[in-house]
């Protein structure tokens, strides 16, 4: 199918949400508990794919893809101010509109996926953390100080402030583990987080080392959430 786009309210701005595939029953729940959407989150500076990636083939439900604020077809805010924690609200807007989701996040999207898995445990039915741009952020400690002022933007994406700010946010391993704990304490899944990324910044080393987290190649990781009772290692 060709990509279909809807726009979700995001304060006074809009978020672009693309449907890359309908579910086997046209997107309706099939009663088996696996027809909720698979939501794809892109990496830093990227945008949603134009078509359903091959590694989603096993997913029986709809496949959605979100353009983060300042990316793709989503609106660009005036004056920047990006934080991963506020991009969580972008994903939360999808949850508000479409209900529970399983998430695959690439790069920056992997970090956001982990955060929202911990923040909205009842609505996030598993996350896959995959390689992609912006996976490391600014590292586990504050990077060298850097402040710059750009002129007013022209509304084009990716927003330069998004590129600057979301490549400098600090991602301490213990902070990542807090969100993993949130997810583990509340999720109905035994293993709500699967690591598919081969590149491992410090925060992802800590996540992957946790006994409650499994590792699998991307397509296999997605498939593991088709049956939500993922077998723990």
Partner 1 sequence: MPADDQMRSYPGARPPDRTGHIMSSGLRLALNEWGDPSAPMIAMVHGGFDFSRTFDVFAPMIADAGWRVVAWDARGHGDSDHAHLYSWAADVRDHMAAITSLSDEPIVLLGHSKGGGQLLDLLDARPGLARAFINLDGMPSQFSAPDINDRERRRMRRADVAAALDRRRRRNELTRRPDTIEGLAGRRAPMNPRLSREWLEYLVTVGARHDAEGWRWKIDPVLHLGGFGPWRPQWSMDHLAALDLPFLGVLSGVQDDPMGWKSRRGDIEPYLPPGGQLEFHDDIGHFLHIEQPRFIADLVLDFLGRLP
Among 9, 32, 33, 217, binds partner 1 (CB under 8 A): 9
In terms of CB distance, is 80 or 109 closer to partner 1? 80
Angstrom distance (rounded) from CA 178 to CA 169 = 17
Shortest Cβ distance from residue 60 to partner 1 (Å)?
28
**Does 100 sit near partner 1 (CB under 8 A)?**
no
Angstrom distance (rounded) from CA 121 to CA 11 = 23
Shortest Cβ distance from residue 229 to partner 1 (Å)?
25
In terms of CB distance, is 94 or 230 closer to partner 1? 94
**Does 158 sit near partner 1 (CB under 8 A)?**
no
Closest to 220 measured CA to CA, from 54, 107, 108: 54
**Does 134 sit near partner 1 (CB under 8 A)?**
no
In terms of CB distance, is 24 or 170 closer to partner 1? 170
**Does 82 sit near partner 1 (CB under 8 A)?**
yes
Interface with partner 1: number of residues (CB under 8 A): 46
**Does 8 sit near partner 1 (CB under 8 A)?**
no
Angstrom distance (rounded) from CA 192 to CA 231 = 11
In terms of CB distance, is 62 or 84 closer to partner 1? 84
Angle at CA of residue 66, ends 60 and 72, nearest 5°: 135
Among 37, 80, 126, 192, binds partner 1 (CB under 8 A): 80
Give buried/exposed letters for 127-163 (b at 16+ CB in 10 A, else e): bbbbbbbbbbbbebeeeeeeeeeeeebeeebbbbbbb
> CA dist 159 to 56, 73, 85, 154, 176, Å?
28, 11, 17, 9, 26
In terms of CB distance, is 52 or 171 closer to partner 1? 171
Backbone φ, ψ for residue 55 (5° rounding): -75, 0
Residues that bind partner 1 (CB under 8 A): 9-13, 69, 77-86, 88-89, 92-93, 96, 115, 118-120, 142, 145-153, 161, 165, 168-172, 175, 178, 181-182
């Amino acid at each position: 199918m060709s990509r279909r786009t809807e726009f979700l309210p995001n304060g006074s701005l809009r978020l672009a949400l693309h449907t890359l595939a309908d579910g086997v029953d046209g997107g309706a729940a099939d009663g088996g508990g696996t027809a909720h959407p698979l939501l794809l989150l892109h990496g830093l500076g990227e945008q949603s794919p134009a078509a359903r990636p091959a590694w989603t083939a096993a997913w029986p439900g709809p496949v959605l893809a979100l353009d983060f604020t300042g990316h793709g077809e989503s609106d660009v805010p005036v004056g920047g101010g990006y934080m991963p924690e506020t991009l969580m609200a972008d994903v939360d807007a999808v949850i508000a509109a479409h209900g529970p989701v399983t998430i695959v996040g690439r790069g920056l999207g992997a970090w956001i996926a982990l955060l929202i898995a911990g923040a909205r445990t009842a609505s996030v039915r598993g996350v896959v953390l995959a390689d992609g741009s912006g996976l490391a952020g600014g590292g586990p400690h504050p990077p060298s100080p850097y402040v710059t002022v750009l002129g007013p933007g022209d509304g084009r994406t990716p927003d330069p402030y998004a590129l600057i700010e979301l490549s400098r946010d600090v991602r301490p391993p213990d902070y990542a583990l807090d969100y993993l704990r949130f997810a583990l304490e509340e999720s109905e899944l035994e293993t709500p987080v699967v690591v598919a990324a081969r590149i491992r910044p410090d925060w992802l080393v800590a996540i992957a080392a946790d006994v409650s987290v499994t590792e699998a190649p991307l397509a296999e990781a997605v498939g593991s959430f088709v049956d939500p009772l993922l077998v723990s290692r």
